[in-house]
Amino acid sequence: MQNDLIEDFLKAYEKTYCKSFDDSFEGKILSIKNAFLEPSLRLNGFFLKELEGIIASYKKPINIAIIGQFSSGKSTLLNLILKKECLPTGVVPVTFKPTFLRYAKEYFLRVEYEDGSDEIVDISKLSHFSDQRNELKETKSLHLFAPIELLKNITLIDTPGLNANDIDTLTTYKELSFMHSAIWLSLIDNAGKKSEEEAIKANAKLLERGGICVLNQKDKLNQEELDNVLSYAHLVFDKYFKKLIAISCKEAKTDLKKSNLPLLYEYLEGLDYENIKKDFIREKLDLLCVILLNQYDLFQDTLEQLKLKLDEVLEFFYTKELERKIQILNHHCLDKLKLVGEKIAQEILKSIKEKESCYYKEAKGLFKKNLYEKVTYKAPYLSSDDAFLAMFYHSETMNKEFKKMKNEIALEFNQIKDEFFQLFRTLEEPILLFKAQFSNLQKENELESEEEFASFRSFASASEEFFVKDFKRLLFKSQLELDLFLEKLNLKALANYESATKLALGFFSTKMNASKEFYELDSTEFSLYYPKASEVHQRVLSELNVYEFEDLLLNKPVVLKIYQNYIQTFTKLIEAKKHFIQNLHHEFEAKKSMISSIKSQIAKL
């Protein structure tokens, strides 16, 4: 059952996407169309419609736009070509929607509306739809059909006048995007003006395919003036147009030959329709490739910038500055612990006093049998309770100093934790910026893939969750480890100074009392115990667990290991994220390779 499903899928895929085509121009463009239909490119409806229109244009007449400023006589010229007064004319802008002149055996008008509907009406109603002075239903375009031989191979398009208003100008430029060539109509007394040349430059590619410049109203000039104007116009326009002629629509109504209109007909009829269509198709198909390549370039460039940000984070991490700070912290902590021990030892030594003591021993001598004599001596004395009260309750000095030390060490730990956080922020900030910039990324061209942009927006929206979450968890884990070590330091040393002092006092008090007892038993064999300063200091350090923390701070530096583990894990995470980005980059590169392959096919047309 499963094998049958896979086999059916493969057959359906081969039938749809693995078609074979002949070696004709039509076969080649159908092959290119089929290559564009690869599902992974995720083309949208606008793109597919544009592609279909480009391929279908090979079997249709070429589109030639009539372009010019308003009142340059476009509609009048087309009426002459139609041999009938169909298009409205006027001294104010009247052509509101592009009007397509197509071949049919009789005159009629098809009106196409913005809502997708259309209707066939009598040609006499054309002015009602094309004149912008009328309030209309949303009309998209007008298609005028006429039994004119020229229109069998050419569709002429009457465009809204340039500079009539911003809307008409934009409409004209939009319509030109699917034109094969153009007739540039200009009033003869405006020929060669800078503003007109700028508009021509903007459509230079279109005009290369058989574009002709037509100067209207030559009847206003005498022959000498006409020659001068044509001479200047050739200097300005010859680099843009295949041909330049002067006509008179006014004269054409009475003397066709004198109007030079037959020269225009002759030029249009002599165009190489086949090559113009092929050149147009090559240009349009190549433009589709450029649009898709630009789309993927945008995605790849964005990913590359994100990857560079991650590299910058790694470079920031590789600094030894924080390691040095941690080493300083370790030494500071140990020094402060030793300082605590030294202060306690000094206070203990101050508390050791001498006092007069005595004991009785058997008297020696002939007449002193069974008699005892009193022996007085000075012995070391330490009242542990009195010493402890003097240090910590009768005076706040020691407590204040120890609390100050504790706060200083806590502050240094918090600074290290903040350094950990700052390292995290070097990653979080660019990720949040990436999310803000690209989670609402919109395509600039309607032919770009909405699915691809939606997918990239989803990636950007999820970037905080995908990139930051693991690093935040690592940060919290590392900061918790620092907190636990500081807590251990507090419990066993910094906050334990009173207990350590009691234990040390008790130790020396007990030892002095014991030495006194042994001394009184046999003063010749035993001596009184006087604690040395170094011995007191060492004992206090031991009770404060200083030697244990010396091992944890210097020999087996816990904080440094926490930092190193943090960096190592952080680095591994970044490398994993970079690898994911690189995989995305490769996916886009693979699609670009497909498009580049299509582009190569187009270049061979």
Q: How many CB atoms lie within 10 A of CB 145?
A: 19
- What's the mean pLDDT in 548-566? 87
Q: What are the Cα distances from residue 487, in Å, to 30, 184, 550? A: 75, 85, 16
- What's the mean pLDDT in 332-351? 86
Closest CA relative to residue 545, chosen from 495, 479, 484? 495
Closest CA relative to residue 99, chosen from 160, 146, 164? 160
DSSP state of 312: H
Q: Is the pLDDT of residue 225 over 80?
A: yes
Note the pLDDT of residue 132: 53
- What's the mean pLDDT in 414-427? 89
DSSP string, 242-309: SEEEE--HHHHTT-HHHHTHHHHHHHHHTS-HHHHHHHHHHHHHHHHHHHHHHHHHHHHHHHHHHHHH
Q: Is the pLDDT of residue 388 over 60?
A: yes
Q: What are the Cα distances from residue 161, in Å, to 97, 170, 177? A: 10, 10, 16
For 152-255, where are the alpha helices, taking DSSP H only? 166-175, 194-202, 204-208, 223-237, 249-252
Q: Give the whole-angstrom CA distance, residue 78 versus residue 261.
A: 11
Query: Given phi > 0 = left and psi -120 to 50 = alpha, else beta, which region is 177?
Result: alpha
Instruction: Give the best-scoring range by mean pLDDT among 120-129, 324-333, 586-595.
Output: 586-595
How do residues 5-36 score in pLDDT, each as one tens digit? 666 565 565 555 567 889 999 999 999 999 99
Average pLDDT for the chain: 86
341 and 541 Cβ atoms separated by less than 8 Å: yes
Lowest mean pLDDT among 118-127, 179-188, 310-319, 373-382: 310-319
Note the pLDDT of residue 62: 95
Q: Is the pLDDT of residue 395 over 80?
A: no
3-state secondary structure of 380: strand
Lowest mean pLDDT among 179-188, 193-202, 259-268: 193-202
- The pLDDT-based confidence of 320 (bands split at 50, 70, 90) is low
Note the pLDDT of residue 367: 64
Comparing 277 with 361, the larger pLDDT belongs to 277
Q: Give the whole-angstrom CA distance, residue 474 versus residue 462.
A: 19
Q: How many CB atoms lie within 10 A of CB 522?
A: 9
- What's the mean pLDDT in 463-492? 90
Task: Please count the CA atoms within 13 angstroms of the CA of 378 that sit on its side-chain side.
Answer: 5
How do residues 456-470 score in pLDDT, each as one tens digit? 999 999 999 999 999
How do residues 125-184 score in pLDDT, each as one tens digit? 887 776 555 556 678 888 999 999 999 999 999 887 776 544 444 444 555 678 899 999
Q: Note the Cα 342 to chain centre separation in Å.
A: 58
Q: Which residues make beta-bridge pairs with 589?
A: none
Could you tell me what percentage of the chain is helix, strand and coil, using 3-state DSSP and rounding each to the nearest 5?
65, 10, 20
379 and 519 Cβ atoms separated by less than 8 Å: yes
> What is the reported pTM?
0.76
How do residues 518-553 score in pLDDT, each as one tens digit? 988 888 888 999 999 999 999 988 888 888 888 888
**Long-range contact set of residues 260-266: C-beta below 8 Å, sequence gap at least 24:** 260/218, 261/80, 264/183, 264/212, 264/214, 265/81, 265/150
**Number of residues assigned to the chain:** 605
Note the pLDDT of residue 95: 46
Q: Most distant CA pair in the chain: distance in Å?
A: 177
How do residues 85-127 score in pLDDT, each as one tens digit? 887 775 444 546 778 999 999 999 999 888 889 899 988 888 7
Note the pLDDT of residue 166: 47
251 and 188 Cβ atoms separated by less than 8 Å: no
Note the pLDDT of residue 391: 81
Q: Is the pLDDT of residue 314 over 80?
A: no
Q: What are the Cα distances from residue 361, in Å, to 220, 356, 379, 516, 525? A: 154, 17, 17, 14, 15
Q: Give the whole-angstrom CA distance, residue 83 versus residue 253.
A: 10
